[in-house]
Amino acid sequence: MSQDNRVRIFDTTLRDGEQSPGATMTHAEKLEIAELLDEMGVDIIEAGFPIASEGDFRAVSEIARQAKNATICGLARANFKDIDRCWEAVRHARSPRIHTFIGTSPLHRAIPNLDQDQMAERIHDTVTHARNLCGNVQWSPMDATRTEWDYLKRVVEIAIKAGATTINIPDTVGYTAPNESAELIRRLIAEVPGADEVIFATHCHNDLGMATANSLAAVEGGARQIECTINGLGERAGNTALEEVVMALKVRHDIMPFTTGIDTTKIMNISRRVATVSGFAVQFNKAIVGKNAFAHESGIHQDGMLKNAETFEIMRPADVGLGETSLVMGKHSGRAALRAKLKDLGFDLADNQLNDVFVRFKDLADRKKEVYDEDLVALVRQNEGAEDSVRLVSLRVVCGTGGPAEAEMVLEVDGAEKSGTARGDGPVDSAFNAIKALYPHDVRLPLYQVHAVTEGTDAQATVTVRLEEDGRIATGMSADTDTVVASTKAYINALNRLIVRRQKTAPGADVKEISYRDVGE
């Protein structure tokens, strides 16, 4: 079964990707990302970890009910309670899957204090239990690449005999290298009884920057499922990036004769959306989806591009859903033109949403000479994602070389307006201090990041702010031609997300939280 040339794409943005500190998504955002993944042609969507919380369970359940094409998978640790909860969440999917795992390396066996025989027995019992509930069961030996070879073979054979239909081999800490990755899969298929009857999968982390290379090597070795995330989102240095492996297989089909079911023209849209809802901006030089991925500044490169684009581009921008031109809109553009352009960019807005964006577009067009695609995307996204307990009404900042900056601010807090003034070391600091004065809170600011959406002094600034409070982390993002305004809105966006998380974890709230440190791969 592992030797056909069709590679299944297993996306875990909503599970492993969301484990990135600060990347927690709202219920509506999870449903939206799942729909985009489904439309793009992802084969399996790992929608979450149902036992983690009531919110995760509801999200996985609803995604399972709404998915039109993809298999919907939930994660479960190696115990009956987790597996039962997972099945309850995914059972209504057109094609459900249970994914259960346990750490098999010596370091991970020490955590539950199980010897090899005890762990082998647990693997047999839990995979059998999962298979009795669902005909599609995936099993993972967490930290497989640091597991003793003889023991790895033993437990893989046990999982296959117990009914697992997919065997995933995780490089949990990004430890392996391409030649090892290929050889590990190759030997498992060759030496484990029954291996030719299941799909082997690869799940690579990017700690040494080799996740994409390791995943592609595993495919060469016989794996026919790649586990990945949009933009490479994930814990620590992240996971294998979906867009990288998919485009590598497409562009280098001559030496890697494998196919996927991904509509690559939808990559850029979902990349932008995941960046927005996660608060993790894509680095400019990121392969495939970075701002500079199709930009050319060198004179030699520009000359070559003008004569023949293939001289310096191995794929077309249109292949990943990027428009050939970016300057299209101005202050004289109307609603119909805006709707058409936004549809080209992947946004099909309802009338009330379009009206809201149109007002902000006209305001931006009056302040900017040129409005680019990236500006429009920022306009659509800047006010999404949080239930607004706190809202910015007005802001005025005085700053300069003569002394500390001062911010005069009006906030709407739970429907009531509050105004005040605060000073700080610069305009942004004074604005943040004003927010704290009007809505008292004690948080840490581990990340404040600014980058320009487009070129020029009138460019919109996109600001990312990450806040931390008692172990809860929330990320906010906003854009404006005024960097201080964008910073303030981003802070408030993160604060609103933090308020929601605080409410969900308050005593008596209908939420059962599980530390993601208990979650593997």
- Look up the CATH number of the domain holding residue 425: 3.30.160.270
Residue 394: CB atoms within 10 Å = 10
298's CB contacts (< 8 A; 6+ apart) are none
Taking only the tens place, the pLDDT of each residue in 361-411 is 888 788 766 677 767 877 786 555 445 789 899 999 999 887 799 999 999
Euclidean distance between CA atoms 258 and 256, whole angstroms? 6
Same domain, 313 and 335: no
Residue entry with tokens 């553009």: 333
Same domain, 64 and 190: yes
Same domain, 411 and 445: yes
Same domain, 45 and 94: yes
Q: Is residue 223 part of a domain?
A: yes
Sign for the CA dihedral angle at 82, 88, 90, 96 comes to: positive
Report H helices in 423-481: 427-438
CA atoms within 13 A on the CB side of 60: 35
Same domain, 371 and 312: no
Query: Collapsing DSSP states into helix, strand and coil, what is residue 106?
Result: helix
The predicted model scores a pTM of 0.78
Same domain, 82 and 26: yes
User: According to the annotation, is 203 in a ligand binding site?
Assistant: yes
Q: Is residue 370 part of a domain?
A: yes
Q: Is residue 90 part of a domain?
A: yes
251's CB contacts (< 8 A; 6+ apart) are 314, 315
CA atoms within 13 A on the CB side of 168: 27
How far is C-alpha 123 from the geometric centre of its chain's CA atoms? 30
User: According to the annotation, is 129 in a ligand binding site?
Assistant: no
| pLDDT at residue number 352 | 84
Same domain, 173 and 110: yes
Same domain, 119 and 43: yes
Domain residue limits at 263: 8-278
User: According to the annotation, is 108 in a ligand binding site?
Assistant: no
Same domain, 456 and 481: yes
Strand partners, 372: 327
Same domain, 177 and 317: no
Euclidean distance between CA atoms 207 and 216, whole angstroms? 16
Query: Collapsing DSSP states into helix, strand and coil, what is residue 323?
Result: coil
Sheet bearing 461-469, strands edge to edge: 444-452, 461-469, 472-480
Same domain, 25 and 160: yes
Residue 239: CB atoms within 10 Å = 31
Asked whether the beta carbons of 266 and 321 are under 8 A apart, the reply is yes
Taking only the tens place, the pLDDT of each residue in 151-201 is 999 999 999 999 999 999 999 999 999 999 999 999 999 999 999 999 999
- Residue 187 DSSP one-character state: H
Q: Is residue 516 part of a domain?
A: no
User: According to the annotation, is 43 in a ligand binding site?
Assistant: no
**Total domains in the fold of the chain:** 4
Taking only the tens place, the pLDDT of each residue in 458-514 is 777 888 898 999 888 888 888 888 999 999 999 998 898 888 777 665 544 443 334
Euclidean distance between CA atoms 458 and 477, whole angstroms? 19
Q: Is residue 521 part of a domain?
A: no
Same domain, 93 and 217: yes
Total length of the chain: 521
Taking only the tens place, the pLDDT of each residue in 3-53 is 589 999 999 999 998 877 667 788 888 999 999 999 999 999 999 999 998
Bin 266: left if φ > 0, else alpha if -120 < ψ < 50, else beta.
alpha
